[in-house]
């Protein structure tokens, strides 16, 4: 697994409830890579005050989170390195004040689509489990599959919309 993906992999693992590491980090990373979006965006500045009460810009955020931790930041033709940041949350703080605009260029991921796909894969494996009764006790595993598929649908509803190119052969 790329080290720059650790926070994203951990987030998706938490979203699907994979506490027993059903999927290894590489499996989750491969699914995330299928939902990668190369992006270039202007960051939103957040005003703070310096010791003299003057406005300054140290913290910036993106409209979307879930960035891989190798994105580049630049302002006025210079590359910048944040002092602090939350790549999953989509905000960064710089050690020196910056005059906007500042831009980010990198990869961000649709964690909802990734989690939905992993849940469907897990549910497919759980389909092989079965309900049984023994010594007057009943053991039901089938509801686990239904719960996974229901959660996968919730995540699909939250994922980015898909774009398709449609054309008609009977029209000019």
Q: ∠ CA 12-1-15 to the nearest 5 degrees?
A: 5
Is 84 found in the same domain as 61? yes
128 and 154 assigned to the same domain: yes
Angstrom distance (rounded) from CA 25 to CA 16? 13
* Residue 172 belongs to a domain: no
Residues 64, 81, single domain; the answer is yes
Q: What is the pTM of this model?
A: 0.84
Tokens matching residue 132: 């049984």
What does the pLDDT average to over 34-59? 93
pLDDT digits (tens, 9 = 90+) for 139-162: 777 788 899 999 999 999 999 987
Q: Is residue 170 part of a domain?
A: no
> 3-class SS at 59?
strand
Enclosing H/E stretch for 139: strand 137-139
C-alpha 60/C-alpha 75 separation (Å) is: 12
Residues 124 and 99 in one domain: no
| Tally of structural domains, the chain | 2
- Residue 30 and residue 42 in one domain: no
Verify that 126 and 138 share a domain, yes or no: yes
pLDDT for 172 = 63
For residues 91 and 115, state if they share a domain. no
- The per-residue pLDDT for range 61-118, each reduced to its tens digit, is 999 999 999 999 999 989 999 999 999 999 999 999 999 999 999 999 999 999 999 9
Residues 49 and 101 in one domain: yes
- Of 120, 115, 122, the C-alpha closest to 66 is 115
Say how far apart CA 20 and CA 114 lie, in whole Å. Answer: 18
How many residues are present in the chain?
Answer: 172
97 & 128 share domain: no
Asked if residue 86 is part of any domain, the answer here is: yes
Per DSSP, helices labelled H in 5-163 are 6-16, 25-34, 111-126, 142-158
Residues 94, 104 within the same domain? yes
72 in the same domain as 45: yes
Residue 6: per-residue pLDDT: 97
* 129 and 156 housed in the same domain: yes
**Domain enclosing residue 135, as ranges:** 1-35+111-161
Residue ending a domain, among 84, 109, 134, is 109
Is there a domain that residue 98 lies in? yes
Q: What percent of the chain has pLDDT over 90?
A: 74
Does residue 171 belong to any structural domain of this protein? no
- Distance CA(168)–CA(125), nearest Å, equals 39
Average pLDDT, the chain: 92
The percent of the chain in helix, strand and coil, each rounded to the nearest 5, is 35, 25, 40
Does the pLDDT value for residue 8 go beyond 90?
yes
| pLDDT in the model for residue 85 | 95
| Of 102, 25, 10, residue with least CA distance to 59 | 102
């Amino acid at each position: 697994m790329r080290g720059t993906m650790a926070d994203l992999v951990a987030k998706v693992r938490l979203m699907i409830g994979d506490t027993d590491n059903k999927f290894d980090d590489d499996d989750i990373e491969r699914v995330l890579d299928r939902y990668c979006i190369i992006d270039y965006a202007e960051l939103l500045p957040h005003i703070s005050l310096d010791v003299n009460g003057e406005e300054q810009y140290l913290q910036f955020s993106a409209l979307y989170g879930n960035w891989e931790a190798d994105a580049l930041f630049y302002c006025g033709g210079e590359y910048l390195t944040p002092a602090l940041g939350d790549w999953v949350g989509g905000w960064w703080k710089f050690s020196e004040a910056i005059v906007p605009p500042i831009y980010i260029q990198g990869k961000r991921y649709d964690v909802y689509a990734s989690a939905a796909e992993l849940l469907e894969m897990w549910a497919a494996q759980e389909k092989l489990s079965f309900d049984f009764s023994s010594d007057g006790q009943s053991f039901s595993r089938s509801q686990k599959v239904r719960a996974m598929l229901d959660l996968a649908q919730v995540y699909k509803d939250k994922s980015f919309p898909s774009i398709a190119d449609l054309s008609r052969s009977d029209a000019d």
